[in-house]
A and B are shown apart, each in its own frame.
Chain A
Amino acid sequence: MDVKEDLYHALLMEYASGCLDEGQSLIIAAHMALSPAARKTVAQYESVGGAILDDCCGKVAMTKDALARVLDKIDCGDSPSPCVQKSKSTMAYMNAPNCLQTYVESATWTDGKGGYQTISVRTSCHRSKARIYKIDPDTVFRVNTRSPHQLTLVLEGSFHDGRAVYRRGDLIVTNGDAVLHSDAEQGCICAVAQPSVFSVKRFVQQIFIRY
């Protein structure tokens, strides 16, 4: 297992434990939608949490009337706060998993400089942002991230890094400079997130360089 695979499993585990930020969680969730293997791995990591809860984490006595109060609430039809389901947006790119589409804030692609277009993804967490990129065919782009790592999920087409070809559903975790080459015919569409406080817009201006 190399460092990148280490990072990959660390991210899946942070997702399973619930401490991964929203932007990265979004990419992981979209990856899981496209990868049964990833879903299985996250389920395995959740089972670690279940095992610790069940057998290893100890217990703290509940207040004496807790069960009675819970049963009262159940009888009253009390329900926990409903999850706010985001509505599916009208997205310029409709081939993304639902969990990603609900986050898209623009219906059209915005032209970037140098062989790519973007759609912004609005997260409620300011610390982590995500974007979807459409990279032109046969484009070389450089990832030069200042954050600890970057997640890139291929949604369509493919790209390669000289070692492997990444296709729909593949998640690449980079933790330093990387040079990626989009498919010569199809180009690629990918979703990108990183745990960073600085602007993704500024970031993309720095990282995507067309040769």
Chain B
Amino acid sequence: MYITATAVKSLAPRAPHSVNKPMESGRAQPKTANTNVNGAHHKSLLLRVASKKDREAFAELFEYFAPRIKSFLMKGGSAPDLADELAQETMIAVWQKAESFNPAKANASTWIFTIARNKRIDHLRRVRPEIDPADPLLVEDDAISAPERMGQQQETEAMAEAIKGLPAEQADLLYKSFFEDKTHADIAKETKLPLGTVKSRIRIALEKLRADQKVKELWT
């Protein structure tokens, strides 16, 4: 049984960063054409940083991503000063690791998200084991197809649009998962929803993202 959006609202006040309502002055509006341009542009900026250590390109990336990373870290509970510091560290890591950015595997915002996420984990003194890319036992990926390569830069835009189309209660759970550093069990406690409901709702949200025609084309 699913609780209606109205009931959820009474149980769990909407997060201030709900997708369906622009809550913050700097929040990007859904302009697909512009964000498409952004995705390709950020990729080219990162590649310029990687190949030429281009400071202008880096400054542009900083201007775009650092405030978003700071917001991300503050939503995870970091104080503003700390979030600022960690956002700076994230951007230093972007500079230093730019050569390892592979546009065939991830788009710029996803790659930067993973760096910011790992900074947050490091700061919390948690450990997140990762696969060793040089592991001889690693089972190889299938070759990335040309359409898949082409799709990477469009992925963020299609995904963002699909997330905006989710019902508020599902989108909020995605936000809590990614930006408030909460396990599903923590979310269940906070929202007073049964854990199974939280997991189901997130699963349904992910299924809807998968079912979105644009995302589907990129994910399959």
B101 interfacial by beta-carbon distance below 8 Å: no
B109, B183, B199: which contacts A54 (Cβ < 8 A)?
B109
Judging by beta carbons under 8 Å apart, are B131 and A148 in contact? no
Interface string of B1-43 (1 = CB under 8 A from A): 0000000000000000101000111111010000100110000
Interface string of A41-56 (1 = CB under 8 A from B): 0011111111111111
Closest chain-A Cβ to B28's Cβ sits at a distance in Å of 5
A33 interfacial by beta-carbon distance below 8 Å: yes
B83 interfacial by beta-carbon distance below 8 Å: yes
Known interface pairs A53-B69, A57-B72. Does A35 touch B129 (Cβ–Cβ under 8 Å)?
Answer: no
Judging by beta carbons under 8 Å apart, are A69 and B88 in contact? yes
Q: Which residue of B lies closest to A55 (CB)?
A: B160
B146 interfacial by beta-carbon distance below 8 Å: no
Judging by beta carbons under 8 Å apart, are B128 and A58 in contact? no
B72, B175, B177, B207: which contacts A19 (Cβ < 8 A)?
B177
A32, A44, A59: which contacts B131 (Cβ < 8 A)?
A32
Judging by beta carbons under 8 Å apart, are A33 and B138 in contact? yes
Judging by beta carbons under 8 Å apart, are B75 and A57 in contact? yes
B192 interfacial by beta-carbon distance below 8 Å: no
A1 interfacial by beta-carbon distance below 8 Å: yes
B182 interfacial by beta-carbon distance below 8 Å: yes
Chain A residues within an 8 Å CB radius of B155: 47, 50-51
**A68-105 at interface with B (beta carbon < 8 Å):** 69-71, 73-74, 78-81, 95-100, 103
User: Chain A residues in contact with chain B, CB under 8 A?
Assistant: 1, 3, 6-7, 9-10, 13-15, 17-22, 25-26, 29-30, 32-36, 39-40, 43-63, 66-67, 69-71, 73-74, 78-81, 95-100, 103, 123-125, 148, 169, 195
